[in-house]
A and B are shown apart, each in its own frame.
Chain A
Amino acid sequence: MKKLRLLRKFLHLLVLITLFWSMFEGYFPNVTQALNTHGIELATVGSYKELIPRDGYTKIKIERIPGELGAHLSEIEIDGVKDTENVLGFSDYYGKTDRGWYYVDLNEAKYWVNRFGGNPNYILGGGAANVYSSIVSSTNETSGVNPYNAYNLAELATASGGGGYEIGDNLVPRDGGYISVGHFRTTQRPTGGVKIKDNQTKFKINDTVKIIPHGKDYSYYDRGIIITHLSVINKTTGRGYKSLDSNQEIRDNSGYLEKPSATSNPKAFEWTGEYTYTPTEEGLYEVTFIMTDRHMRSRQGSPTINESTPYTVQFMVGDEVPPPPPDPPEEPEPPAVCTINQSSTKMDFQIVGDDVKDYSAVPSGGSSIMVEKNADITLFASKNGTFTMNGIEMETGSGNNRKRGIGYFGSSGTYRIVFKSDDGKDCWEKTFQVKADSKEESCPIITISGTTYRNSDTLEVLPERTVYFQANFRNSNGDTETAYVLWDVTKPDGKTVTLPAYEEEVGGRKKIVEIPYYKLELPFRGAREVTLERGKQYKVKLNFQGTNWKDRPECAWEITLVVKDTACTITEQHKLKLKIYGSPPHPFSPGGEDADWTVYEPIYLKHFTSNPDGSYETNLSFSANAPGTWFLIKNNKRVPVSKALTANEKFDLTLPDDFDVGDWVTLEFESDIGCITQFKFEIMSDRKCYNLEVAMIRYGTYDDYLWKKEVSRGETLHLTQEDFDSKYRPQFLTRGEKTEFTMHWLDPDTQQWTARRNGKWLSTSNTYNYSHYFQFPTDPDSGEVLEGLYKILFWTDNGSDANGPVLDCEGSIFLQIGASNGENLLIVKNSFTITPKDPQLPGTEATITFQVRNAGKTMHDTKLAVRWESSDKETVLDVNQFKPGETRKITVPTQYPQESEDFIAHINPSRNKPENESIWTDNRATWPVKVLRVIELPDPPGGGEDFDGGEIGLELYDSDGRKLERIGLHVDGVWEREPAKIEVVIDQTKINEGFQRTQQSINAKITEYKEQLEQFASEEGAKNIVVTAQPGWISDAKSMAVYTPALLDLKVSGPGIPQQWQVSSSSRGGEYIYTGTSVPTQTTWRQTLQNQKYLAEINGFQIVMDYEIVFDLSFDRCTQNNEDEGDGEEICEASSFTRSMSGRYTITVTGGTRTFEVFEPNATGSIHHTAEWIEYHARDRYRQSQPHDFYAGERILTQVELQDRHRHPVSGKYPVVESAASWIYETGKRQTLLQSRLSLLPITANKWRGPNYQASKLGSREVGVDTPLMGDKQRGFQKDARYAVYFNIQFRFGVNKGYPYPNKQQFSGHDQADYRIPFRIIANAWERQGIRNHTTQ
């Protein structure tokens, strides 16, 4: 593509100030916009850099640009990196001119301005940047394109401070054609600063302060800066404000211009100003300087492109130290942004294909790395960051490890992987290129006498025949080459010889050398003779010695050659003779002529009769002098065309419809004893041949004719004695070529043509000439011409070629003198007219006229049949009272047929009125009628299908890696607050199957349509048919795949905390950790706590493969030049058509959902008496004491227990108790606070009790939750009062159940009875004699 029109913009004075920007803030978000084609049928750039298919794409005009354009998909490179988005390129319709532009619509324009680093508000915000849109529409109204506003991409780049450039014509080969790639450069945003002269910071009142602002612009065009704002203010007092400058544009008037190119970098335009300020009071002053470049780009370090961060500097006036000013805000350092082309980041990665390859410390950039197709890559960064592959975020490592990037290569294409660390300091980029399949050379392919034979085939051959072997192979480019090999032939005696072998003299001694060759002929003569003996078997094997096939066992090739055991001896063979029979218009004798291999008279297609089924009666017969069968050989096939015949029995040759002018007919006769001989002839056309004239010319004159008649080849001229006059002599004339001739008479007795009559030689020529006189034999008595049928055989001097004499317009005419044996009704062939004159469109009403003549002696009532050749029905007209000598004009109203064909008329078709006709060929005439060719190309199949790509699998795992079971009614789950791992599995097998089927289906359609087009053209009788498809073959449907959406939403919802991730649809999935299980949904005994369950879901996606195949059909339509220029040549006109086939295949992958439970961990607390106290309770005076009745001062033992119901309902595991405690927090007598807290220890797997201690004399005792104060008579528990023990249990994942000490209100857990055990005080232990309270043990 084509010169980009780089319109340089002239910036007008800009009045916008920073304040304005905020109004537009967010007005143009940074949008990524997919290409919108606006209904335009796109063209592609073909192999000649022209737009194709010609006339098959929408004709476009762009406002104010005169001329017709076409749109084509184009790629854009910005700073040498291909962008992920495409644009439409517009070029002259079909032309290869240098005009072309990239135009983008408004949505796309926003994207591109952002990519160019420009200010979209300024450029697209209403003309301030002098960038205007133009309306793109189709040239005509009915194409279905809605006109839209579009921007010239080059103008957008220029207005963004960058520029476009070309590399050559911007065209890059792609898929057999080209694609336009636009090149653009961006520039960095402006920089600047402000300082006080000499960096002086202290001044006195009325000193002159010199303020020096400066700025740098890096743009390609419209260079310069804009001082948006420059002012001073006394920050201490708030007074003394002075605006030093604003909205001042400073242009680069140096004329410096750096043209954009791949390597250019415009040097900065630098500006420095000097302003003065005179302070009149003391204080801290601040100077503010705001600037942009002339493209309204904010300075580097600004938060947005719209809003330029001010530069400031401060100075002090006066001696007094004013109140301490706030620290001047530190100039925020621009974040250390890593740029790819200056990156020093290195990366390790591993590529796993058929081989595993490790790469370490690979620097950014550089040449691309070749990878195997469908390989996987894992990259290892040193810090967290984002990996993208062709712009799509890659999978992270498991557990969302963002130091890893995981990706997959397709079967072709280029992949650009970019890493950017989260802190913005590291970045790395590398391009990977999938290696193309290297094709292997094929094994040799062997053809024997034109037919391919495979390994272990058997071939039967006739003796005395030569067998031709040829070896070819396909090279790695797919082209066929000859294969140089040796051939091992095993003879019937078991001996093997290697051929070809020749004798050579080496150093005076004869030696046999073997020379590999691609051909072999058997029998082989020479040093190692191989004859083919009848009835014997031979083996022929390829010998790969010295070739690359040697190590390829699959290339082994050996066949068996069986020589037929026939009785044909060479003598018998030589005895075999053939005969050909014909009658006018053919020149052959009705009684038969010897035909040895071929004949020297031309055989014209015109003299065949076509049957309604399309086959041809040749009107020729053949016989052989031995019993046997005739075969027709075509395309290496041998088809019998006669039954088994006796010796000398004739058969009439009918040819199938696929024979045509120029074809050689090969007939083979095989006798019963296996002798074989062939006869060949070419079917010729006389369409380009001149007609002859036969005349009667007065002796001694040049132009005094008695009569003159035009005669075509094969035609019979009927003459009577009245046509002769003694003062005149017969003459025949040719136009265009000199001829010689001989004259023959048909001997009615022998039915042979003979050059003598009554012993006298008939006329012959003696030199090549345009005209010849000749004579008929006469009756010596009456002087009358002897009646009979004569033939004048004439030929031209065109030399010979390998097949015999060149027969160009040779032929015969026939002269019937006197009445023939019978009556004769004939059609006057040159009387044919059709009105309107051909060619016409099919179906055009027309009238055909021609003449019929009664050349007999009797009046007849006869019939005339007329029809178009394609019609199987004829119209029969009555021709009544047809007088002898009468010529009658026949008028037939008709319509032009659908395509060019012959009109056929046949008088007396049934040969019954009269019955005794003799020369039937004149009773039938065919006239070619041309019809304008109407094109009804078959429609391309096109279309598409949707394939099932399966469902995205969602698997869940608990934190121990247990996969949650998929069970019916009750759902599996994890513990409260336990992180759940979600594994997303996108099944590549089904998707690949979809790709495979898409590829097969499109390729089948390509093949099918190519065949249809070829068929179409060949039915048109065209020559040199070439059908091409572009692309000719879809080698990988995946390369066309667009994943929609590119990113899938994986969401978990439920009573807990919702979380969401994005998963690349082109990935294989990944693992994600859900940590929002904060709200349990069930108890372990399946009691529902929350009706809403947790739901993990991921949306489905579609892989869309849009294809467009452009088919070009070209061929030559040839017609005979019938015009009078007389060169008789064939005129061929090239014709071509283009059709495009398009459609869409999709692979639909459905989304997945998965519900799961979150189980609440629980345990049960309980209180117990000591063994002694159980005894006391049993036997003391409080026999009626209830469970959980305690004495004040009695030890209260506490226990936490996991019961069976606390097990995980699916895994059966108990929840993990990390700690358990019991506590009392009560008020005793005299408002005494009674509090205790006891940590419990595990005593068995499922039980927790108070710790043990050693009590003297009593041994090991368990600590209770009570305290001595609780048993105090004055201040302890009160009799008949109710108190409670509380429990607090901490489970894994930070889940607390029960009551946190000392809060009796804050309960969590399923049942508070499990965590709060009330007890009653029935007395004080001191009241009971003999019982010691626990303080005394």
Chain B
Amino acid sequence: MKGKVLAVKKIISTLLVAAFVMGALAGPAPVAAADPLTANYSATPEKGAIEFALLKGFMWKYPDGQFHGEDQISQGQFVSSLVAIREVKEGEPVPQLPEGHWAKATYERAQKAGILAGVEINPNKLLNKEETALLVFNAWKPYRGVKDKGFTNTGALVTWGWMEPAPPGNPKFREDLPVTRAQAAVILRKMWQDKYQIELGEKYALEFHNSLKVKDGYLTGMVPKGDKVLHLSVQFFKKDSGKIVPFSKGQAFRVKIDDFRAMAFFATNDLDYSIAAVYDYIDLSVLERKKNTQLFSK
């Protein structure tokens, strides 16, 4: 052929640099509308975490227009951020706060979302690491379950990698250290990203699920094409050998049901390899799925 062959190859950039890199914290928040969603996904969440928090609207500046990242974060501020990330709409009564309290609406929504379980309500309280970590685990129970029982909230969150260990010279899991607003922004950004990938993973898992059809002893389906953030794949486990027959994103398949013991769908973050969604299909002929996305404690 004399025609020019244009090979369109998938390019995954391992570093999708956030589209906005601002030096100072002053100045207006950048405009988000033009940014594709995936561009906000950074494999290095520490970078630009504050800008990200402002952009996504889960943290706010002080009335003086400054962020004051060095200040210790208050319970009210952090709970507001969690409510924003969780996108909680409804509330449940919080009698501890008087009517008209500035934080009442936020706390009512947090209450509904289970974020306040075991938390002494005091919006002005400045948070230490243990208190912060407890709120994180409360807020994240619907996504990643409960924390590992053998650890304090701090220990579990540090081990999971969402909280920095104590500075050298301290016990690694020291609980009473203050959490600054900048440190909170880093944690919140990781949470935002985790939620984003989990929701994306769920979406693709459902898309995959809906593509499955059983006919004449064969299972057909298609692994969704996905996007640049998630790698989607399906593994079939052979009956006799336990060997794996894989299919990855964009591939349609047709397999003989009798040959396989089970199948599983995986959505894995291509940037940091965190697990966005895992579903097991134990009986290929009935296509029931069981969620097995990684939890904090397993």
Q: Which residues of A does B touch, CB under 8 Å?
A: 10, 39, 41, 53-59, 61, 63-64, 66-69, 92-95, 97, 99, 135, 137, 139-144, 661-662, 685, 688, 806, 808, 841-843, 932-936, 939, 1023, 1116, 1118, 1128-1135, 1137-1140, 1142
Contact = CB atoms under 8 A, between A and B. Distances in A.
Contact of A935 (B247, B263, B273): B247
Contact of B7 (A66, A935, A1116): A1116
Given A61-B275, A66-B294, A935-B247, A140 B5 contact: no
B255 to A, nearest CB: 8
Contacts of B3: 688, 808, 1128-1130
Nearest to A145: B242
A1018 B262 CA distance: 30
Given A68-B274, A139-B292, A841 B231 contact: no
Contacts of B269: 67
A140 B294 contact: no
A135 B160 CA distance: 14
Interface in B206-247: 213, 215, 220, 222, 231, 233-235, 237, 242-247
Contact of A59 (B6, B7, B160, B235): B235
Contacts of A1023: 5
Contact of B251 (A10, A143, A935, A1140): A935
A939 B268 CA distance: 26
Contacts of A56: 235, 244-246
Nearest to A8: B172
A841 B252 contact: yes
B278 A66 contact: no
B243 A1142 contact: yes
Contacts of B231: 94
Contact of B278 (A140, A144, A841, A1139): A140
Interface in B142-162: 148, 156, 159-161
Contacts of A53: 246
B148 A63 contact: yes
A808 B1 CA distance: 10
Interface pairs A-B: 5 shortest CB-CB = A55-B246, A142-B262, A140-B264, A55-B233, A67-B273
Given A63-B298, A64-B148, A142-B282, A41 B244 contact: yes
Contacts of A59: 235, 266, 268, 278
A92, A135, A141, A142, most chain B CB atoms within 10 A: A142
Given A139-B278, A140-B278, A1132 B1 contact: no
Given A55-B248, A139-B266, A142-B263, A662 B1 contact: yes
A989 B66 CA distance: 84
A144 B273 contact: no
B129 to A, nearest CB: 17
A1138 B272 CA distance: 23
Given A54-B233, A55-B244, 20 more contacts: A41-B242, A56-B245, A61-B275, A66-B274, A68-B268, A95-B273, A141-B282, A142-B237, A142-B280, A143-B235, A143-B237, A143-B264, A144-B242, A685-B1, A841-B220, A933-B252, A934-B252, A1130-B5, A1135-B251, A1138-B246
27 contacts: A55-B247, A67-B272, A68-B275, A92-B273, A94-B273, A99-B273, A139-B266, A139-B294, A140-B278, A141-B292, A142-B261, A143-B235, A143-B264, A144-B261, A685-B1, A808-B2, A842-B254, A933-B252, A934-B254, A936-B255, A1128-B3, A1129-B4, A1130-B4, A1132-B6, A1134-B9, A1134-B10, A1137-B251
A1118 B235 contact: no
Contacts, number: 164
B290 interface: yes
Nearest to A660: B1
Interface in B125-153: 148
A39 B275 CA distance: 21
Given A1118-B5, A1134-B9, A67 B275 contact: yes
A66 B220 contact: no
B34 interface: no
Nearest to B268: A68
Given A139-B292, A1131-B8, A69 B252 contact: no
B60 interface: no
B117 to A, nearest CB: 22
Contacts of A142: 237, 261-264, 280-282
B253 interface: yes
B80 to A, nearest CB: 26
A99 B271 CA distance: 13
B266 A64 contact: no
A144 B243 CA distance: 10
Contacts of A1138: 246
Contacts of B262: 142
A936 B213 CA distance: 16
B156, B233, B273, most chain A CB atoms within 10 A: B273
A1150 B241 CA distance: 27
Contacts of A67: 269, 272-275, 294
Interface in B95-150: 148
Contact of B253 (A97, A935, A1129, A1130): A935
Contacts of B248: 54-55
A1142 B160 CA distance: 36
Contact of B252 (A54, A143, A932, A1140): A932
B239 to A, nearest CB: 11
Contacts of A61: 275, 294, 298
A1132 B5 CA distance: 7
Nearest to B248: A55
A1271 B9 CA distance: 123
A632 B141 CA distance: 73
Interface string B144-184: 00001000000010011100000000010000000000000
B268 A93 contact: yes
Contacts of A68: 266, 268, 273-275, 294
A1134 B274 contact: no
B8, B268, B298, most chain A CB atoms within 10 A: B268
A360 B244 CA distance: 54
B213 to A, nearest CB: 8
A938 to B, nearest CB: 11
Given A806-B2, A1134-B10, A66 B243 contact: no
Given A66-B294, A935-B251, A144 B266 contact: no
Contacts of B234: 55
A135, A685, A806, A932, most chain B CB atoms within 10 A: A932
A54 B233 CA distance: 9
A930 to B, nearest CB: 12
Contact of A66 (B1, B275, B279, B280): B275
A140 B6 contact: no
A1276 B132 CA distance: 118
Contacts of A57: 244
Interface in B77-100: none
Given A53-B246, A142-B263, A66 B292 contact: no
A93 B8 CA distance: 25
A1133 B222 contact: no
B13 to A, nearest CB: 13
Contacts of B298: 61, 63, 135, 137
A139 B281 contact: no
A1330 to B, nearest CB: 107
A68 B278 CA distance: 11
Contacts of B263: 142
B92 to A, nearest CB: 31
A140 B274 contact: no
Given A68-B268, A143-B264, A843-B220, A39 B6 contact: no
B88 to A, nearest CB: 24
A58 B5 contact: no
A41, A61, A99, A139, most chain B CB atoms within 10 A: A139
Nearest to B254: A934
Contact of A140 (B148, B255, B292): B292
